[in-house]
Amino acid sequence: MSAEGIGLIRLLSWLSPVFPTGGFAYSNGLERAVHDGLVGSEAELCDWLRSIITHGSAKNDQIFLAESWRQAAAKETCQPVAELAISLAGSKERHLELTAQGEAFVLAVDNWEFETRPDFAELYPLPVVVGAYCAVGGVDLKTALIGYLQAMISNQLQAAIRLSVLGQSGAARILAALEPDIAGLSAAAAETTLDDLGTAAINADIATMNHETQRVRLFRS
């Protein structure tokens, strides 16, 4: 099999729901948005996710993934990118979501052998480590960006199903509807630099903050 094919298999494995990063435990504030009545239907969920892709945390995550991919490919340290990603986490739970999953990813990816490994210290935000390991693991940047964003949206949809916002058929409709958005952001992110960082998804950021004090919940964020 070609190196490109092996790289794709690795990416699918690393972003699979069975890969032990614990993504099922996080909702990125969606649980609070449902609690507050901001998201209560399929249409509202689709708009919410599109906003996160266009103006929210998903946009920044894509930029961090692209930058760490380039740094690792050049055999440069990814530590400054990791530090910046952590500093821009907008809430305690967003910080946990990034670092806990990133640390779990690094432990699990140790099952693969690489000629070189990315240079980190002790900070492992998920998009940064995924980008870095894709670079050393033979996954091209554009494929990594598409895979990461699609997996993130799928995880949000799984959370929405558990929160009874919609069922699997509704999730499939949203996946189809958001396909152009996923493709568009991923293509744009491949050409970005850290100067392009910035979000404006205010309600999503507030939801992640308010979730910290929610007394009854299913998710850690």
What does the pLDDT average to over 167-182? 98
As a whole-number percent, the residues of the chain with pLDDT over 90 amount to 92
Q: In degrees rounded to 5, what are phi and psi of residue 198?
A: 155, 140
Q: Where are the alpha helices (DSSP H) in the chain?
A: 3-14, 30-35, 42-55, 57-73, 79-87, 92-108, 126-136, 141-162, 168-189, 202-210
Secondary structure class of 34 (helix, strand, coil): helix
For residue 110, give the amino acid letter: D
**Residue scoring higher pLDDT (1 or 178):** 178
* pLDDT tens-digit series, residues 36-74: 999 999 999 999 999 999 999 999 999 999 999 999 999
Q: How far, in Å, CA of 149 to CA of 45, rounded?
A: 16
pLDDT at 106 over 90: yes
pLDDT at 170 over 80: yes
pLDDT of residue 208: 95
pLDDT of residue 213: 93
What does the pLDDT average to over 153-168? 98
* Residue recorded with tokens 């152009």: 180
What band does 120 get if pLDDT is binned at 50, 70 and 90? confident
pLDDT of residue 89: 92
pLDDT at 99 over 90: yes
pLDDT at 122 over 80: no
What does the pLDDT average to over 3-23? 93
Q: How far, in Å, CA of 158 to CA of 156, rounded?
A: 5
pLDDT at 1 over 80: no
What does the pLDDT average to over 11-29? 96
What does the pLDDT average to over 22-34? 96
DSSP letters, 135-151, are HHTT--HHHHHHHHHHH
Maximum alpha-carbon separation in the chain: 51
In order of their start, the domains of the chain are 45-196 (1.10.4190.10)
What band does 157 get if pLDDT is binned at 50, 70 and 90? very high
